[in-house]
Amino acid sequence: MLDWVIDTSWSSMARTLASGLLIYAIVVVAARLNGLRTFAKMSGYDFAATVSIGSIIGAVTVSGTVPVVEGAVAVTAIVGSQRVLTELRRRTGLQRAVDNPAVLVVARGQILESGMASTGLSISDVRSKLRTAGVSSLDDVTALVFEPTGELSVVTAPVNELDPWLFEAISGIDDLGLPRR
């Protein structure tokens, strides 16, 4: 009856343990060499790298069909690609092509339909985030920004106290009425 739960062998369990420990050690070394950004939630491509590495770990550890060496090559390829893309973003104009822009969703207590439409957020999402941030009234929200990481930033400081530099590359920012730098 429970064969599907316990139908394994000691050698299979030993292989799973050994491959799990090895691929984990490889990922730790790769992350250490690549730096803090390896598992950061800075952009969509960082998220893709994190998910890919998790998938590789699972395939190597549990499937039994992917050798540890192939997993190590795959992890190296993903982390290496992430590193190259990070450097290209910093040194060229590639950032605009790779990263999603931040999008203004609420400006001066008003929900922006254009921001809602471009982000796919629902009113329920907005309400939930504002409650989580301790906001008691929509009128208290100066800006709600959907960040490139998928997170929502709530700003309650008055517009005249905002540094325009922090809001430069945000889609829809003109609706906030910040002075130009």
Note the pLDDT tens digit of each residue in 135-157: 999 999 999 999 988 889 999 99
Note the pLDDT tens digit of each residue in 67-102: 999 999 999 999 999 998 888 888 887 777 777 889
* 50's tokens: 């994190």
User: In whole angstroms, what is the distance from residue 61 CA to residue 21 CA?
Assistant: 8
Cα 84 from chain centroid (whole Å):
18
Check: CB of residue 116 under 8 Å from CB of residue 103: no
CATH superfamily of 100-176: bsu07140 like domains (3.30.240.20)
Q: Average pLDDT of 48-71?
A: 92
DSSP structure string for 92-161: STHHHHHSPPEEEEEETTEE-HHHHHHHT--HHHHHHHHHHTT---GGG-SEEEE-TTS-EEEE-S-GGG
Note the pLDDT tens digit of each residue in 166-180: 998 899 999 998 877
* pLDDT at residue 141, rounded to an integer: 97
Check: CB of residue 145 under 8 Å from CB of residue 78: no
* pLDDT at residue 4, rounded to an integer: 65
Share of the chain above pLDDT 90, in %: 62
Q: Which residue has the higher pLDDT, 43 or 170?
A: 170
* pLDDT at residue 95, rounded to an integer: 74
Residue 128 has pLDDT above 80, yes or no: yes
* pLDDT at residue 181, rounded to an integer: 65
Instruction: Specify the long-range contacts of residues 6-15, CB closer than 8 Å, at least 24 apart.
Output: 12/64, 15/64
* pLDDT at residue 36, rounded to an integer: 81
* pLDDT at residue 163, rounded to an integer: 93
User: In whole angstroms, what is the distance from residue 112 CA to residue 127 CA?
Assistant: 14
Note the pLDDT tens digit of each residue in 103-117: 999 999 999 999 999
Check: CB of residue 68 under 8 Å from CB of residue 23: yes
Check: CB of residue 104 under 8 Å from CB of residue 171: yes
* pLDDT at residue 118, rounded to an integer: 94
∠ CA 30-75-28 to the nearest 5 degrees? 30
User: In whole angstroms, what is the distance from residue 13 CA to residue 24 CA?
Assistant: 16
* pLDDT at residue 19, rounded to an integer: 94
Q: Average pLDDT of 122-130?
A: 96
* pLDDT at residue 117, rounded to an integer: 95
User: In whole angstroms, what is the distance from residue 104 CA to residue 174 CA?
Assistant: 9
Check: CB of residue 146 under 8 Å from CB of residue 101: no
